[in-house]
């Protein structure tokens, strides 16, 4: 493979002209012959630079309202013929095919259009055909051709053009970038067209990741992929870490379950404090009281604006990250007085519809647990019918328990979490842990509501709950020994409801 090649001709066909002017100027200085299409050719002409419209090469004007411009052997032959292949050279000469050494493309903005409209006709017209074909052709023949597949790489091209020559290593790098751009583009189109999941395939394209300090531990490399700015704006503090982002994801998923004036505190993706109240300050006080030890150094998230008084209260506590949709100006200044304290504005609440988990031997895909519990669909199995207040607390508890690692149990009283058993390998231990944690932080379990993410395989768990003064239990049901649990609750006048919905989380 030759060490370097000189660029003598270039085909430029881009949607977004931003930053293109300096490229054109440099190519013109180098005496590179320019070919172009439609609006790009007009742009170059207005700069006073000579350019040949590709219709002069193909003998055809753009047809079908511009759908077909570059798809012609005169264009693709000029890109694809192998300069070191005698047969290719002979055919290029026979058919008067001009060589094209550089291809610069910026594709139709399909993803950007998808963010603005759901109109299928408009989206279809933003599916690039000629551009994506040019990218693939030039990338395939990287031995002879340089491909610039996106405006993101204009600055890299300018650096390359300082000499007007390219090495094989440089051309291969650009070709690799080109296939990344084209595959990402196609995956977005597929995901849109397969929104009904009729085709049993999942395409995940992670594009433009940002490097993080490290992963879960300092020895692990890590990157973040996604459009964080759409959802979060960092107002103060150090850079978000891998663990911060995991916890933020867990906090926002849980927060999305609640109405205004709610606070969630998360540690290692598990909630250690959750409360809804009439004010943000009250929600914070209640949420913190659940487990102030675990809350230390955790993620605190609100779904309401924080006034100055609440900000002052929060500033007295050590947390890793604070998230809210808005902040009182003076209160924010108080919070930001510590330079490393991470403060984030929630621009909008993210809502995932599916999730993928990587295993050492494959991948798992599933829809997210989007079930919203409806009391009208619950079944009373034992005890007296719950009051409206108890039903409200049950709803609150089921929102929380679905976001805790299984086996999970929560105790709820007055729209706040007072105890939780999380990630236990059996449900008895989860019940015991929830009671012990509630009592540890001064809560009386008598009169509280117990919510379970899955059924009780035996009646031993409800017996432990009853002995702790719990008189209302809600669970999915579904055990082959449900009747044992129902009988125990009936015999002891414990209200027992089945939801019919399991909420495992692993």
Kindly list the catalytic residues: 140, 268
Please state, in angstroms and rounded to a whole number, the distance separating the CA atoms of residues 297 and 374: 35
CB atoms closer than 10 angstroms to residue 392: 17
Residue with tokens 């047809």: 63
Q: Which of 99, 347, 138, 337 is nearest to 232 (CA)?
A: 347
Please state, in angstroms and rounded to a whole number, the distance separating the CA atoms of residues 451 and 431: 10
All residues at 6 or more sequence positions from 199 whose CB lies less than 8 Å from its CB, including other chains:
none
Q: In 83-238, which residue ranges form alpha helices assigned H by DSSP?
A: 86-94, 110-116, 120-124, 130-140, 154-160, 168-193, 228-231
CB atoms closer than 10 angstroms to residue 353: 8
Tokens representing residue 317 in the block: 């506590």
Tokens representing residue 476 in the block: 């999915």
Q: State whether residue 224 is helix, strand or coil.
A: strand
All residues at 6 or more sequence positions from 377 whose CB lies less than 8 Å from its CB, including other chains:
499, 500
Q: Which of 426, 444, 427 is nearest to 435 (CA)?
A: 444
């Amino acid at each position: 493979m030759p060490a370097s090649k000189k660029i003598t001709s270039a085909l430029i066909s881009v949607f977004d002209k931003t930053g293109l002017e300096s490229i054109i100027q440099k190519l013109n200085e180098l005496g590179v012959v320019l070919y172009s299409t439609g609006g790009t050719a007009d742009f170059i002409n207005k700069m006073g630079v000579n350019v040949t419209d590709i219709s002069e090469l193909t003998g055809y004007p753009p047809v079908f309202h511009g759908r077909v411009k570059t798809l012609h052997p005169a264009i693709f032959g000029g890109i694809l013929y192998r300069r070191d292949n005698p047969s290719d050279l002979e055919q290029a000469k026979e058919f008067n095919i001009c060589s094209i050494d550089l291809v610069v493309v910026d594709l139709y903005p399909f993803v950007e259009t998808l963010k603005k409209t759901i109109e299928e006709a408009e989206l279809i017209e933003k599916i690039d055909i000629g551009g994506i074909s040019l990218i693939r052709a030039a990338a395939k023949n990287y031995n002879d051709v340089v491909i610039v597949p996106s405006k993101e790489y204009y600055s890299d091209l300018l650096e390359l053009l300082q000499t007007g020559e390219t090495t094989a290593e440089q051309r291969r790098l650009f070709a690799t970038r080109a296939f990344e751009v084209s595959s990402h583009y196609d995956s977005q189109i597929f995901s849109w067209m397969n929104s009904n999941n009729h085709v049993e395939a999942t395409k995940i394209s992670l594009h433009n990741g940002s490097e993080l300090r490290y992963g879960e531990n300092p020895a692990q490399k890590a990157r973040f992929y996604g459009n964080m700015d759409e959802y979060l704006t960092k107002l103060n503090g150090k850079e978000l870490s891998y663990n911060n982002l995991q916890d933020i994801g867990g906090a926002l998923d849980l927060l999305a379950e609640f109405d205004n004036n709610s606070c969630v505190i998360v540690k290692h993706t598990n909630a250690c404090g959750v409360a809804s109240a009439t004010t943000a300050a009250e929600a914070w006080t209640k949420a913190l009281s659940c487990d102030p030890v675990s809350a230390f150094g955790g993620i605190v998230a609100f779904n309401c604006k924080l006034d100055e008084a609440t900000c002052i209260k929060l500033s007295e506590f050590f947390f890793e990250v604070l998230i809210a949709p808005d902040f009182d100006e003076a209160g924010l200044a108080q919070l930001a007085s510590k330079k490393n304290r991470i403060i984030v504005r929630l621009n909008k609440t993210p809502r995932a519809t599916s999730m993928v988990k990587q295993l050492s031997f494959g991948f798992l895909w599933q829809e997210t647990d989007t079930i919203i519990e409806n009391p009208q669909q619950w079944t009373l199995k034992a005890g007296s019918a719950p009051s409206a207040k108890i039903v409200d607390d049950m709803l609150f508890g089921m929102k929380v328990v679905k976001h805790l690692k299984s086996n999970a149990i929560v105790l709820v009283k007055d729209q706040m979490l007072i105890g939780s058993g999380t990630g236990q390998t059996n449900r008895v231990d989860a019940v015991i842990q929830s009671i012990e944690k509630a009592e540890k932080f001064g809560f009386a379990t008598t009169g509280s509501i117990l919510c379970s993410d899955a059924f009780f395989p035996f009646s031993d768990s409800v017996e432990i709950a009853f002995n702790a003064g719990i008189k209302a239990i809600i669970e999915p049901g579904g055990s082959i020994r449900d009747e044992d649990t129902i009988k125990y609750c009936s015999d002891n006048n414990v209200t027992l409801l089945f939801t019919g919905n399991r909420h495992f989380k692993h």
